[in-house]
Amino acid sequence: MRPLRIGIAGLGTVGGAVLGNLLQNADRFADVLGRRIEVTGVSARARAKKRGVSIENLRWFDDPVELAVSPDIDAFVELIGGSEGPARVAVTAALGAGKHVVTANKALLAYHGFELATLAESKGVALLFEASVAGGIPVIKTLREGLIGNEIKRVYGILNGTCNYILTKMQDEGSSFEGALAEAQALGYAESDPTFDIGGMDAAHKLALLTCLAFGTRISIDEIHCEGIEHIRRADIEAADELGYHIKLLGVAQRTESGIEARVNPVLVPKDSAIGEVSGVTNAIEIEGDYVGDLLLVGPGAGARATASSVISDIVEVARGDCLKPFIVPAAMLKPHKKATLGAHRGAYYVRLLVHDRPGAMASIAGRMAEHDVSLESIVQRRPRKLDPGAAPKVNSNNTMQLVLITHDTVEASIRRALELIEQDGKIAGRAQMIRIEKL
């Protein structure tokens, strides 16, 4: 059988590892597949940049679009990144020219997945993106193939390695947010713009793809409620820990009576739960299917080699000649996304307030909660420690008490309204901190 000829655009951390793997496994893949996988062309920003692997013998393209449509390739591997610009233009050109496409680009798919899948299907070529969600965890193949006999009820998990790394470092080592982020960047986990990680957008892109695959709906990144970890303080991590919880940034997509609830948000989870114990850059995804029950996938969510492992699995799938629909069902059959009302979310909440230490303050707060039918499970009050900026404001710091409340199950709209009024009543300093407690 003739070789599969591939072109790789983007030779950063992941691209270099993909190239290294293909060279290292060239003979093994030839034996297993009965055909060779040959890299025939590459494109990147800087030709002369030092890389772990040599590109001297490969044809160089300054323009990734030229590589994408080159008659010398059968498949185009896009590792440029970004939802617009060269990545989008090159992938569209490659599919249009009848090339298979393998990409790790979650942002591109979250915004343009539907149109790209439609184009791939019309050309009868593959559009594969295993590496775009949860790095080295084969969650897309699991949903597309392994769980095809299931109706999926809920899919949720830790989808951003950088955030989990930061939260773990703050939790276990008392690191500052900024210090832990700098380490995640140095280790190659973070996006080129790390606000995508810490603001939750990276996880939202991944959740959009999982939602589409799990529920057969069109991708709708704009319908995902997205909160990041920028507002999480060490005071929250410590208070949660004392109450038996860890704080994790979770992506959650579930069917509800009013539609699909899809959200990325920091949540409290019991620290001895499977998700609560996942630390560092590790990702974890739990999938609830009606036949399989609960399935937990855990593994490295970022990093060059882990992500390359997933890219390689897609390249090998193309070499085998498999050509499944990108989103399981034909793109035209994906249903419109019906969004659940987030205010209708029912669950327990963690609330941290810095209360002015004056008579009646506590009674006023409890009164507002009662007015909105919010019942309290636990109340912990103490003088705030100077853990980090934001734990206690400089002004009034001697006159405030930190109050941590855990509520019983309540409707989100009710607690939000109660907190708005508590802020207006002037009994607390700064904003109220509210974090959902996730039912696992």
Catalytic residues: 206
Sign for the pseudo-dihedral over CA of 28, 31, 32, 33: positive
Between residues 76 and 196, which has the closer beta carbon with respect to ligand HSE?
196
In the complex, what is the shortest distance from the CB of residue 303 to ligand HSE, in angstroms, rounded to a whole number?
8
In the complex, what is the shortest distance from the CB of residue 196 to ligand HSE, in angstroms, rounded to a whole number?
7
Binding segment for ligand HSE (CB under 6 A), chosen from 27-35, 44-52, 120-128, 185-193, is 185-193
Identify residues 117-156 at the interface with ligand HSE (CB under 6 A).
135
197 near ligand HSE, judged by CB under 6 A: yes
Between residues 166 and 319, which has the closer beta carbon with respect to ligand HSE?
166
The DSSP bridge partners found for residue 260 are 255, 339
Contacts with ligand HSE, 286-325, as mask; x by CB under 6 A: ---------------xx-----------------------
CB burial of 215-231 (b: ≥16 within 10 Å; e: otherwise) equals: bebbbbbebbbbbbbee
Would you state the structure tokens that stand for residue 398, as one six-digit string? 């001697």
In the complex, what is the shortest distance from the CB of residue 181 to ligand HSE, in angstroms, rounded to a whole number?
11
Between residues 202 and 261, which has the closer beta carbon with respect to ligand HSE?
202
Between residues 224 and 392, which has the closer beta carbon with respect to ligand HSE?
224
Binding segment for ligand HSE (CB under 6 A), chosen from 39-47, 83-91, 184-192, 227-235, is 184-192
191 near ligand HSE, judged by CB under 6 A: yes
Identify residues 159-178 at the interface with ligand HSE (CB under 6 A).
160-162
Between residues 197 and 227, which has the closer beta carbon with respect to ligand HSE?
197
Contacts with ligand HSE, 228-267, as mask; x by CB under 6 A: ----------------------------------------
In the complex, what is the shortest distance from the CB of residue 7 to ligand HSE, in angstroms, rounded to a whole number?
22
**Rounded to 5 degrees, what are φ and ψ at 11?**
-120, 50
157 near ligand HSE, judged by CB under 6 A: no
Between residues 159 and 351, which has the closer beta carbon with respect to ligand HSE?
159
The count of residues interacting with ligand HSE (CB under 6 A) is 11
User: HEC profile for the chain?
Assistant: CCCEEEEEECCCHHHHHHHHHHHHCHHHHHHHHCCCEEEEEEECCCCCCCCCCCCCCCEECCCHHHHHCCCCCCEEEECCCCCCHHHHHHHHHHHHCCCEEEECCHHHHHHHHHHHHHHHHHHCCCEECHHHCCCCCCHHHHHHHHCCCCCEEEEEEECCHHHHHHHHHHHHHCCCHHHHHHHHHHCCCCCCCCHHHHCCHHHHHHHHHHHHHHHCECCCHHHCEECCCCCCCHHHHHHHHHCCEEEEEEEEEEEECCEEEEEEEEEEEECCCCCCCCCCCEEEEEEEECCCEEEEEEEECCCHHHHHHHHHHHHHHHHHCCCCCCCCCCHHHCECCCECCHHHCEEEEEEEEEEECCCCHHHHHHHHHHHCCCCEEEEEEECCCCCCCCCCCCCCHHHEEEEEEEECCEEHHHHHHHHHHHHHHCCEEEEEEEEEECCC
In the complex, what is the shortest distance from the CB of residue 34 to ligand HSE, in angstroms, rounded to a whole number?
33
Between residues 7 and 161, which has the closer beta carbon with respect to ligand HSE?
161
Binding segment for ligand HSE (CB under 6 A), chosen from 183-191, 210-218, 264-272, 353-361, is 183-191
In the complex, what is the shortest distance from the CB of residue 134 to ligand HSE, in angstroms, rounded to a whole number?
8
Of residues 407, 404, 384, the one with CA closest to residue 396? 384
In the complex, what is the shortest distance from the CB of residue 51 to ligand HSE, in angstroms, rounded to a whole number?
20
In the complex, what is the shortest distance from the CB of residue 191 to ligand HSE, in angstroms, rounded to a whole number?
4
Between residues 161 and 228, which has the closer beta carbon with respect to ligand HSE?
161
Interacting residues toward ligand HSE by CB under 6 A: 135, 160-162, 189-191, 197, 202, 301-302
